[in-house]
């Protein structure tokens, strides 16, 4: 019999976990619920942070963990370059307003946009994320 298993969070490797947690907290309207400074041998921008939805809100917890050998991904992928191994999909009601909000939070609109009803943006450390209707 299969034991009970439930995915509850996603951990994102980054060169700047505290800054990225604050970016996604602002973008998504969620609180930063945990922060730890750099570990031994890590640079000042190292560490770990988390944003978590309030109890009863159906959204994943996002963890941001310092990645010593982080390489900014290239999107869309290019042979021989670092690719994005995952991305976040964020459902929105008004795509134009959501894109403007994301840009104001510090995101950058990706040059290549594969669909009319989806907008691909890059967070401050280069991870792609999609806003969709």
Residues 9 and 45 in one domain: yes
Residue 14 to residue 64: CA distance in whole angstroms: 7
- Banded model confidence at residue 45, pLDDT cuts 50, 70, 90: very high
**How many domains does the structure of the chain reveal?**
2
Residue 113, helix vs strand vs coil? coil
Beta strands in 1-133 (DSSP E): 9-14, 32-36, 48-51, 61-66, 88-91, 108-109, 118-122, 128-132
Residue range 117-128: mean pLDDT, rounded: 97
Residues 101 and 49 in one domain: no
Model pTM score: 0.94
Quote the domain boundaries for residue 99.
Answer: 72-133
What is the reported pLDDT for 109?
A: 98
Beta strands in 44-87 (DSSP E): 48-51, 61-66
**pLDDT tens digits for 22-32?**
999 999 999 99
Residues 55 and 89 in one domain: no
């Amino acid at each position: 019999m299969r034991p009970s298993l439930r995915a509850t969070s996603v951990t994102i490797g980054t060169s700047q976990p505290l800054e990225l947690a604050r970016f996604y907290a602002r973008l998504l309207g969620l609180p930063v619920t945990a922060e730890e400074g750099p570990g031994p041998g890590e640079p000042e921008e190292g560490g770990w942070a988390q944003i978590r939805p309030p109890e009863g809100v159906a959204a994943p917890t996002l963890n941001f963990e310092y990645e010593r050998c982080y390489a900014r991904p290239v999107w869309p992928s290019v042979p021989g370059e670092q690719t994005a191994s995952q991305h976040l999909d964020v459902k929105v009601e008004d795509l134009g307003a959501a894109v403007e909000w994301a840009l104001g939070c510090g995101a950058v609109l990706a040059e290549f946009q594969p669909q009319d009803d989806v907008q691909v943006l890059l967070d401050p450390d280069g991870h792609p994320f999609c806003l969709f209707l």
